[in-house]
Amino acid sequence: MTVLSDPETHTGELVMSLRGIDKNFGAVQALTAIDLDIYSGEVVALVGDNGAGKSTLVKILAGVHPQDGGTIMSGDKRVSINNPADSNGLGIATVYQDLALCDNLDVVANLFLGHELGRGTINEVEMEKRSWSLLRQLSARIPSVRIPVASLSGGQRQTVAIARSLIGEPRIVILDEPTAALGVAQTAEVLNLIERLRERGLGVVLISHNMADVQAVADRIVVLRLGRNNGEFKVADVSYEEIIAAITGASDNAVTRRAQARVDAADAAAAPAAAPATSPAGTASSEEERP
């Protein structure tokens, strides 16, 4: 089932490569021998069920937890990520699920938080100018950058959080569940944003539970299951069912059983429909006709 992608098919260069990453929290082996490659100009989706180890892997990359074993290669250099500063230094920007914005500050202040421009005093004019140019590049629709972030919609806040990750000119952007709390239109905007990150040549790691989003923007899907690699697919040549099977670990699982049950029910409904007497299908259709 595991279809490891052929490195030759990647258009971008390998910017980061994780090999045999182990991590345990006390008695729990959260990650076992995880491999992950991140290429520039490519969106790799990290999928898996709850507890599969996605967030743990991301936290290792973000410098929240150091790994217990395995190697991280940045280009051809072996590196260690012990804290968030190391992660930033390697050009990794992480957009957390809770966005981590300061509601009381305006968009400009949030974009440059911790990286304010200017010597001694803050250069607000230059920061505002660059904020606009950055937001324009992302085709982001923010009406004003001088309003508190609290007054923005969920999608706009997500945009600000993603735009902020680009301030330090990163090579890799990690997005943790960027569409989880968004509406249909806002989700589409964020997906557009992710495609623009790819066009800019960034390596994008997308964590999502939403297979529709993953299939819409990702180039490659890495499946984790119970802390282990459980398949790597090119989005172009994998079906929804195959991904689900890899996530749940079997072709016989709750999702397929449910799908099968629906098919069976439809078959059962179709079969007696041929009979002239009171058919379940007939009842169903008469119910549908009710206003």
Task: Tell me which residues touch another protein (CB under 8 A).
Answer: 84-85, 88, 96, 98-105, 109, 113-116, 120-122, 125-126, 128-129, 132-133, 141-148, 150-152, 164
Q: Angle CA(93)–CA(31)–CA(64) in degrees, nearest 5?
A: 35
> Letter for the amino acid at 262?
R
Closer of 150 and 284 to another protein (Cβ): 150
Closer of 124 and 242 to another protein (Cβ): 124
CA atoms in the 13 A half-sphere facing the CB of 26? 0
Closer of 156 and 248 to another protein (Cβ): 156
Tokens representing 44? 């790799």
Closer of 120 and 291 to another protein (Cβ): 120
> Letter for the amino acid at 189?
E
Closer of 35 and 86 to another protein (Cβ): 86
Q: Which residues contact 151 (CB under 8 A, 6 or more apart)?
A: none
Longest Cα separation, the chain? 87
Dihedral of CA atoms 38, 159, 114, 118 in degrees, nearest 10, equals 110
Q: Which residues contact 239 (CB under 8 A, 6 or more apart)?
A: none
Q: Is 178 left (phi over 0), alpha (psi -120 to 50) or beta?
A: alpha
Residue 120: count other Cβ atoms within 10 Å of its Cβ.
Answer: 5
The least distance separating another protein from the CB of residue 125, rounded to whole angstroms, comes to 5
Closer of 132 and 188 to another protein (Cβ): 132
